[in-house]
Amino acid sequence: MKKRRAKSKLLKKLFWRWNEEKQTDFFDYALLFLVLFLVAFGLVIVFSTSAYTGELRKHDPAYYLKRQGFFAVAGIMVMLFLSELDYHIWKKASKIIMIGTFILLVAVLLAGVASHGATRWLGVGSFQFQPSEVAKIVIILYTAHLATIKAIKLNNWKTMARVAAFPMVCIALIAKENLSTAIICSAIVMMIIFVTSPRIKEFIILAIVMIAVMAIFLAAASYRLERLYVWRHPENYEKGYQTLQALYAIGSGGIFGKGLGQSIQKLGFIPESHNDYIFSVICEELGLFGAVCVICIFLLLIWRCAMIALSAPDLFGALIVVGVITHIAVQVFVNIGVVTNTLPPTGVPLPFISYGGTALFMLLSEMGLVLSVARQLKLPKEY
Amino acid sequence: MSKTYTRKKIFFLTISILLVMSLLVVRLAYLMIAKSEYYLQKAEALHERERSIKAKRGILYDRNGVELAGNKAVCSVSVIHSQITDEEAVIRALCSVLQMEEQAVRKKVEANTIREKIKSNVEKETADRLREMNLEGVMIDEDYKRYYPYDSLASKVIGFTGSDNQGIVGLEVYYDAVLQGTPGSILTMTDAYGRELENEAENRVEPVSGHNLKISIDVNIQKYAEQAAINVLKSKQAKRVSVVLMNPQNGEIYAMVNVPEYDLNQPYRLVRAEDLYRDKSGEPDNGSLTEQKKKDALNAMWRNFCISDSYEPGSTFKTVTATAALEEGVVSVNDTFSCPGFRIVEDRKIRCHKVSGHGTETFREGIMNSCNPVFMDVGARVGPERMYQNYRKLGLFERTGVDLPGEASSIMHKLEKVKAVELATMSFGQSIQITPMQLLRAASAIVNGGNLVTPHFAMCVTDEKGRKLHTYSFPVKEHAIEEHTSDVMRELLEAVVAEGSGSKGQVPGYRVGGKTATSEKLPRGNKKYISSFMGFAPADHPTVIGLILIDEPTGVYYGGTIAAPVMAEIFSNVLPYLGLEAEYSEEDLKKTSAVFFEDSVE
């Protein structure tokens, strides 16, 4: 029934699905609330961390808040719009947008705008965005689609490689400028294939091989090894400055923190405290209690997504949600891991909270996809 | 619907995420509970900036409690950018009142910092004028500045301080630890760029005032001595005049004058002797001096000749030779010598100052006449080894230990190089160099009964409320020489003044002993001299010993003629002041009228 509807009414009802009488009336308000809460909380913390820098650099304490707020509003609108679209339209579209993204990634390498020492931005007039952020959602859709098609055959290396091939090419392009995003994208691809495939042994081998490759990769160049030394003893290295400042902020927060807005480390001690190291300011201002609350919200969000994935109407929907879960989970883990000096330093923003327009917009779009999958859940009436 | 294994794997994924996140929570708990104190302290050390509060520097009192160095309230002016309402008005006011360049003021006023210091050491009256203008955003803070009420009095002894309240020369640096106190501090929180944060609690540590120091200088004696020194400097157009007055019994220094003195309140203004001749105190033309030359000139100006420079003492050193001879028993007062006006020592003919010679004379007469051949003979009798032993007994091989920085030591021949010629010249105070302070110390031991004292200024330390915290005692080497030798020396030196070459050092009503000297400065032949007179009173039990040195006098340069009368003048004022009653003999009374008569003739 579902298949037929998707086929027959796809074009006609492309953007007006909510008029269809057969749709379930379910909408995951709990997930929506969690997302909105995170976004609102993020705006508060972005304002808190950037007001001083904003006043100093742009003579407007709300400069960063306004920009982030604009992307938040736009992102929420797109999220709500996507949640009303039937996600199956992305099956067909995924290949085309994947090729589009590939072109964008090549373009950014050729004609990108450099900022913070890396060429990651693509500018059209005054509008700039990061193709690598767009790539995350596109890779989720494309891999989910391909994995769904090849689901039955996904029990051998060859098929797995074929599914992963095109995304990996894109990831290689990303890795050139932004290793951490490339790792996140690889994790997404791997996780989607892992969930689809009936095999386990291959993935264990793969994990071992990847760890080995990583070790060789690190040991091959001394500057990468240096990063490890900095990680172990940040106080001895100039490059450990940011990590050390983050630790000062986290440590001085204590159990209940200094109170919202009371961070001192954000006053220029932590460079770009509204970006990747925003979590350290959350720790300083809201304490261990606040930090654990934030982690719990993320866990609730992931749990809610996992529930959607488990009861998704089809494999494609489930895989989209798995991709999104992987994306959020890896980013939260790496971000907090880096800020607490649990992992070697690398620049990964905290989902929904860190300052950054493209990232927030894309994350909200992903949540729109998840909400769209949730819209078609098969639920008992009384639920 | 997805397959069972897919569901299992999704479940596995979720659980894995939960576990990994728990690890992060554990890590966070470790950082924020176990290591919290550690990081908090580190962070605070990073955020806190210390603004120090000057401690009130201890006051320097003379022996009678007169303030020699104190503190004057001054102000520092700063602006607080965020509180300024009318920038232009503030800039205009600051420029006109503080007389500063507009550009410099504008830069500081417009700087977007919490607090910017405009000027420190602003006179209180000036600051009050600014305060009356009631400008918003302008802060005036009280501060202290070292102030010397007597300007140039004893400048080379007292010394001055730098902008950080630290002593730079003189007693100010020697007793810096006592006077300085402990600066307080205000701990403020700052951002990464060093700007102070508002609304943060200040952590204030109050400063501890320095202790007060009482020194043995007596302002009145110092003033007498300085005036006498200035008078002779002017009349003799000398390069400099130094006077030291000391209690030979305990080493307390009553006065130490080195004219030209400099103004302690303006220590970087050059003062030259020539300015004093004409009573001129106009601005010296510093502009013509290069930076290095000015620096050298300032250093020379701050230098305390009495302790930092050595010179050939000349005839005053004969007291040391005589003491050595008496100590060793190689001469008695009535031994006779003959002076043909010179003495041939080895291949050299060394002259007496009286070219025609003193003829046959006793040792006593030899001292009275300051006869060189007599002392050459006496010196030869003592011999180099025993001579050096006596120098050592009189402290001539060591620094005096005076409580001032920069004391020089003596320049002596090596014992093995002392041959007949060297011994002969040493005997009347040539070919060796000592500091005036060393001479005075040795002379003190010679006349005080044989005790080698340590010349000093410090007497006691008191706290702000005047309670005595510490009384200084300086080492005394008792019986450095025989008491009997000292008795004889006093008698001989009294005779020098009463009947001999030091007759101009007489003070009516007092028994004064002393010895004159005229030393030709090195290199010889330039006709540059140091005329000096060492005197003490009362001769039977001296309580004051004085030394005056006139450096490069013009015209008559004999110590007995120009230096002795100055000391007599000082003594005539100081001795009554110190409570020593004059006992006039018939002769004295006659002499007094004669002196007055002579004065009126001049």
Decide if A299 and B21 are in contact by the 8 Å CB cutoff: yes
Q: Is A129 exposed, middle or buried (0-12, 13-18, 19+ CB in 10 A)?
A: buried
**Token pair belonging to B254:** 């009553």
Per residue in B202-236, pLDDT (tens digit) is 667 788 889 999 999 999 999 999 999 999 999 98
- Closest chain A CA to residue B196: A267
**Rounded CA Rg of chain A:** 21
Percent of chain B with pLDDT over 90: 50
Q: Most B CBs within 10 Å: which of A153, A202, A248, as the mutation test of the B interface?
A: A248
Which chain B residue shows the shortest CA-CA distance from A323? B10
Q: Which of A252, A267, A299 faces B191 most closely, judged by CB atoms?
A: A267
Q: Which residues of B touch A303 (CB under 8 A)?
A: 14
**Domain B308-601: assigned CATH number:** 3.40.710.10
Angstroms from B113 CA to nearest CA on chain A? 11
Q: What are the extents of the domains in chain B?
A: 51-215, 308-601
Segment A282-299, tens digit of pLDDT: 999 999 999 999 999 999
Q: Residue B47 above 90 pLDDT?
A: no
In DSSP terms, which residues pair with B167 in a beta bridge? B161
pLDDT band at A7 (very low <50, low <70, confident <90, very high): very low
- pLDDT value for B108: 80
Q: Is B185 a catalytic residue?
A: no
Write the pLDDT tens digit of every residue in B228-239.
999 999 998 899
In sequence order, which residues have a C-beta less than 8 Å from that of residue B128 and are 6 or more positions away? none
CB contact under 8 A, B6 and A288: no
Inter-chain touch B32–A315, beta carbons under 8 Å: no
Pair B318, B375: CB distance under 8 Å: yes
What residue of B is the nearest CA neighbor of A264? Answer: B191
Q: Does A141 have pLDDT greater than 50?
A: yes
Return d(Cα B261, Cα B302) in angstroms, integer. Answer: 8
Residue in the block written with tokens 């679209």: A85
Among the partner-chain residues B5, B25, B189, the one whose CB lies closest to the CB of A292 is: B25
Which entry of B315, B370, B444, B486 is annotated as an active-site residue? B315
- How far out from the chain centre does Cα B452 lie? 22
Q: Do B29 and A288 touch (CB under 8 A)?
A: yes
What Cα–Cα distance (Å) separates residue B443 from each residue in A222, B221, B512? 78, 20, 14
> Are the Cβ atoms of A292 and B28 closer than 8 angstroms?
yes
Which pLDDT tens digit goes with each residue over A69-114?
999 999 999 999 999 888 999 998 899 999 999 998 888 888 766 6
C-alpha–C-alpha distance, residues A188 and A365, integer Å:
16
B333 interface with A at CB cutoff 8 Å: no
**Residue B184 forms beta bridges with which residues?**
B53
Mean pLDDT calculated for residue range A147-157: 86
Q: Return the SS3 of B83.
A: helix
Residue of A195, A338, A340 to mutate, interface with B, max B Cβ within 10 Å: A195
Answer whether A251 sits within 8 Å of B36, measured CB to CB: yes
- Nearest residue, CB atoms, B43 vs list A151, A191, A252: A252
Cα–chain-centroid distance for residue B428?
30
**Taking CA B537 as the corner, what is the angle to CA B533 and CA B539, rounded to the nearest 5 degrees?**
105
**Assigned CATH for B51-215:** 3.90.1310.10
Contact B39 A312 (CB under 8 A): no
| Token pair recorded at residue B308 | 């930092």
- Asked if the Cβ–Cβ distance from B10 to A249 is below 8 Å, we say no
Assigned token pair, B355: 């070219």
B109 vs chain A: nearest CA distance in angstroms?
17
- Helix or strand run (H / E) with residue B241: strand B240-246
Q: Hey, what are B570's tokens?
A: 């000082």
CA distance A193 to chain B (A): 10
B564 pLDDT above the threshold of 90: yes
Inspect the interface and report whether the beta carbons of A291 and B5 lie closer than 8 Å.
no
Residues of A in contact with B44 (CB under 8 A): 252
Q: What integer pLDDT is reported at residue A379 of this predicted model? A: 59
Mutate to test the interface with A, among B1, B2, B38 (most CBs of A within 10 A): B2
Chain A touched by B11 (CB under 8 Å): yes
- Average pLDDT of every residue of chain A: 84
